A and B are shown apart, each in its own frame.
Chain A
Amino acid sequence: AQRVTQPEKLLSVFKGAPVELKCNYSYSGSPELFWYVQYSRQRLQLLLRHISRESIKGFTADLNKGETSFHLKKPFAQEEDSAMYYCALSDGGYQKVTFGTGTKLQVIP
């Protein structure tokens, strides 16, 4: 069965400090990995996906198949990064998305 684990419920960092949100997954095939973000009073939205290998709002995530991880990183946290972050995976294509429990990122001014 596919599963996504986010070990931290809350991560507090100071503005300007590096951020790393951890995500591990279990899946028997080759999944697509995503990070979704939900800012306060806004809807869930896609932040980035591993196949794009892009940087969005300064965030990057590298898929490590050996460690089955997809950690989200940003070198310098900004106050506007405070939000709920969800790691997720899917079988690809139009398939359902399996989410982790989410990590609340709090950036302290």
Chain B
Amino acid sequence: EAGVTQFPSHSVIEKGQTVTLRCDPISGHDNLYWYRRVMGKEIKFLLHFVKESKQDESGMPNNRFLAERTGGTYSTLKVQPAELEDSGVYFCASSQSDTQYFGPGTRLTVL
């Protein structure tokens, strides 16, 4: 069974540009989560989808971040416009029970 996949694995952009990260959860998993680890800090929760609905978006840092999960399958996280402090590793996780399975992460570097 394929695990959670994320694309791209790395992204380098300039400040002010837009980047879209994609997450494909494990097939059949209704719950999808986004997390972020900024350099030197802990992994922090961003938001949680149940199917296509946002269950909890309390961790979204500001309105430059937009997450979608149209159709309740894959999800995208768009950062527009990107700032230097957005650099870090963005993780996606999915679950059908109470165990979350993580993707490999997308390393975002904003120059």
Contact = CB atoms under 8 A, between A and B. Distances in A.
Interface of A: 4, 32, 36, 43-46, 49, 86, 90, 92-102
| Most chain A CB within a 10 A radius of its CB, from B44, B95, B98, B105 | B98
A83 B104 CA distance: 15
Contacts of A101: 41-42
Interface in B23-38: 31, 33, 35
| Most chain B CB within a 10 A radius of its CB, from A43, A45, A93 | A43
A67 B42 CA distance: 22
Interface residues of B, number: 26
Interface in B47-62: 48, 50, 55-56, 59
Contacts of B74: none
B33 A96 contact: yes
Interface string B1-13: 0011000000000
A94 B45 contact: no
A10 to B, nearest CB: 13
A1 B43 CA distance: 16
